[in-house]
């Protein structure tokens, strides 16, 4: 156990010295992708540059969705009932090791239900856990809050690719038909692998916590920022404007209308299957408006919630530019052909898993690149005699595998925690070293 801690600390020192900040990583990945596209696909450099610049706006709506999921989730976390719930949950931790195990388990459990919910709730829970347990190693606590995005979300109920191929009218239906989630997400293989990963990473979190004298505690200045939200005081005087701003009439009407709409959307959309990122954002906003009580309190809370958006606004367009290069130059197909050429019928699911992980590191799109990659992967699977559900699951698991060592999805969490990616990378690298061989072996055996 102590050996693991020393390895994590050594990796942490290495990353602190040699790994730049998350913005620099995004720029370096952009330059590397440009070079790869020019050198491997023979695409002229001006065309690669055009694809990069045009690609900046490929994920514009998704970037806004991500900004809103963080903003509305933060707003919701500042309400009294949600703060009380997070305080209760943080109080379940018994000691520093219990705190990191709790954080890892909650992150992975929530990501299984919905990745957007995990992204927000885990970031918020960090604040409450570290206030209760300031002696916890803060770097490890924040790293554990990121486990869900790298270990369970694309195996769970908000998984993009498996849900897409189970939806009537999807773009591959003529080629593939419908693959119900009983053959993918609810298959014994997927459920068993998810349980093994969650158990293993929770135990790893427990083993990675340093001894008390070696633990790196939260900066007191950061801890001071995590104090309770202070609502605005009502100014003196009486006027219709003041009454509207400091009375719960408008927020109650808005909240009730929002709850009714959300309930109808679930009823008409087939229950939990209707829950997507837009639905999560709408629900978070509705509940935040309802629970804050007054427009004045809501606006004051929104000022604090907006402080976590700068990383998303600044860096997501860079990854969209990389996505544009992959989409326009055929780079994805080249990488896919290389991996497929190394495959046999037995090894194809594991190869797809590894291939998907490699592409995901450059384009962490949350499954949206499935539309580009699926046709030739499924055609190769058909030629090799591999069941399509194995390809879908292998792709899904690979799509989240390298999230553990990629700062893209961690940006909202890091902004809330006031850390940089290199601060937690040492612990995440060890988790990745445990996780990758385990899942790769599982797909080799399944293949």
Output the DSSP codes for 218-247. Answer: PPHHHHHHTSPP-PPPPPSS--HHHHHHHS
- pLDDT at res. 281: 82
Question: What pLDDT does residue 78 have?
Answer: 84
Distance CA 171, CA 126 (A): 40
Question: If pLDDT is split at 50, 70 and 90, which confidence band does 276 have?
Answer: low
Provide the H-helix boundaries in 56-184: 60-77, 80-90, 95-113, 115-132, 138-145, 147-151, 160-165, 173-176
Window from 36-50, 163-177, 335-349, 398-412 with minimum mean pLDDT = 163-177
Mean pLDDT of 406-419: 86
Whether the pLDDT of residue 62 is over 80: the answer is: no
pLDDT of residue 383: 82
What pLDDT digit, counting tens, does each position of 418-437 carry?
898 989 999 999 999 999 99
Mean pLDDT of 110-127: 85
d(CA 148, CA 144): 8
Cβ-count burial of 88 within 10 angstroms (0-12 exposed, 13-18 middle, 19+ buried)?
exposed
| % of the chain residues with pLDDT over 90 | 38
Structure token pair of residue 363: 């384009």
Q: At what angle do helices 188-208 and 138-145 cross, to 10 degrees?
A: 170
Task: Say if residue 268's pLDDT is above 90.
Answer: no
Answer whether residue 230 shows pLDDT above 90: no
Rounded average pLDDT over 117-121: 82
Confidence of residue 274 (pLDDT cuts 50, 70, 90): low
The pLDDT of residue 412 is above 90 = no
Say if residues 388 and 378 touch (Cβ distance below 8 Å): yes
The position carrying tokens 């290389």 is 338
Q: What is the pLDDT of residue 409?
A: 83
C-alpha torsion 334→405→364→150, nearest 10: 120
pTM: predicted TM-score of the whole model, two decimal places: 0.84
Average pLDDT, whole number, for the chain? Answer: 87
Confidence band for 18, pLDDT divided at 50, 70 and 90: confident
Q: Tell me: pLDDT of 58 over 80.
A: no
Residue 368: which pLDDT band, with cuts at 50, 70 and 90? low
CB of 322 within 8 A of CB of 30? yes
Which region among 82-86, 180-184, 374-378 has the lowest average model confidence (pLDDT)? 374-378
pLDDT at position 336 over 80: no
Model pLDDT, residue 205: 96
Judge whether residue 70 has pLDDT over 90: no
Distance CA 171, CA 328 (A): 19
- Residue labelled with tokens 């949350």: 366
Residue with tokens 């305080």: 87
| pLDDT band of 393, cuts 50, 70, 90 | very high
Average pLDDT for 286-310: 89
Residue 269 has pLDDT above 80, yes or no: no
What pLDDT, on the 0 to 100 scale, is given for residue 277?
65
Tokens, residue 82: 């949600």
Q: What is the distance between the alpha carbons of residues 373 and 90, in angstroms, rounded to a whole number?
A: 41
What does the alpha-carbon distance between residue 273 and residue 261 come to, in Å, rounded to a whole number? 16
Which residue from 327, 315, 407, 338 is spatially nearest to 370, judged by alpha carbons? 327
Of 284, 365, 359, whose CA–CA distance to 318 is shortest?
365
Question: Which sequence spans correspond to the domains of the chain?
Answer: 1-225+244-446
Q: CB–CB of 332/369 below 8 Å? A: yes
State what percent of residues in the chain have pLDDT above 70. 97
Provide the CA 178 distance to its chain's centre, in angstroms. 27
Closest among 138, 163, 125, 328 to 222, alpha carbons compared: 138
Nearest to 73 by CA among 61, 60, 86: 86
Average pLDDT over residues 66-72: 81
Confidence category of residue 275, pLDDT binned at 50, 70, 90? low
Question: Cα(75)–Cα(34) distance, rounded to whole angstroms?
Answer: 39
Confidence of residue 260 (pLDDT cuts 50, 70, 90): very high
Integer Cα distance of 244 and 72 in angstroms: 22
409: Cβ–Cβ under 8 A, 6 or more apart, which residues? Answer: 119, 146, 149, 150, 364, 366, 403
Section 154-171 average pLDDT: 81
What pLDDT was estimated at residue 367?
A: 61
* Alpha-carbon gap, residue 100 to 223, rounded angstroms: 17
Which region among 67-76, 95-104, 198-207, 424-433 has the lowest average model confidence (pLDDT)? 67-76
Provide the pLDDT for residue 330. 83
């Amino acid at each position: 156990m102590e050996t693991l801690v020393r390895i994590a600390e050594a990796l942490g020192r290495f990353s602190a010295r040699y790994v730049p900040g998350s913005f620099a990583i995004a720029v370096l990945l952009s330059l590397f992708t440009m070079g790869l596209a020019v050198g491997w696909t023979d695409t002229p450099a001006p065309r690669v540059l055009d694809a990069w610049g045009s690609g900046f706006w490929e994920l514009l709506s998704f970037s806004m969705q991500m900004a809103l999921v963080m903003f509305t989730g933060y707003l919701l976390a500042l309400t009294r009932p949600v703060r009380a719930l997070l305080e209760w949950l943080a109080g379940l931790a018994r000691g520093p090791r219990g705190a990191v195990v709790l954080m890892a388990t909650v992150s992975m459990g929530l990501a299984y239900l919905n990745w957007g919910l995990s992204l927000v709730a885990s970031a918020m829970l960090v604040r409450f856990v570290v206030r209760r347990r300031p002696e916890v190693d803060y770097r490890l606590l924040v790293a554990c809050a990121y486990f869900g995005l790298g270990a369970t979300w694309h195996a769970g109920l908000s998984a993009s690719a498996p849900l897409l191929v189970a939806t009537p009218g999807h773009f591959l239906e003529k080629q593939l038909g419908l693959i119900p989630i009983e053959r993918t997400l609810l298959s014994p293989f997927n459920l068993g692998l998810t349980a093994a990963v969650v158990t293993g990473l929770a135990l790893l979190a427990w083993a990675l916590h340093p001894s008390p004298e070696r633990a790196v505690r939260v900066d007191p200045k950061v801890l001071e920022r995590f104090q309770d939200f202070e609502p605005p005081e009502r100014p003196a005087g009486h006027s219709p404007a003041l009454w509207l701003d400091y009375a719960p009439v408008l927020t109650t009407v808005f909240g009730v209308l929002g709850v009714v709409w959300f309930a109808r959307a679930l009823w008409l959309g087939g229950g939990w299957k209707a829950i997507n990122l837009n639905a999560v954002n709408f629900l978070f906003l509705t509940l935040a408006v309802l629970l804050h009580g007054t427009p004045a309190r809501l606006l004051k809370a929104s000022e604090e919630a907006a402080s976590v958006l700068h990383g998303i606004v600044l860096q997501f367009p860079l990854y969209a530019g990389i996505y544009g290069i992959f989409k326009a130059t055929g780079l994805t197909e080249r990488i896919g052909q290389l991996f497929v050429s190394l495959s046999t019928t037995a090894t194809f699911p594991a190869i797809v898993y590894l291939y998907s992980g490699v592409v995901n590191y450059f384009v962490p799109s949350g499954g949206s690149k499935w539309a580009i990659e699926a046709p030739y992967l499924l055609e190769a699977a058909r030629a090799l005699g591999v069941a399509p559900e194995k390809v879908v699951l292998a792709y899904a698991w690979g799509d989240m595998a390298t999230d553990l060592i990629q700062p893209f999805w961690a940006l909202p969490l890091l902004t809330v925690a006031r850390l940089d990616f290199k601060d937690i990378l040492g612990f995440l690298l060890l988790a990745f070293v445990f996780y990758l061989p385990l899942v790769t072996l599982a797909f080799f055996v399944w293949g």
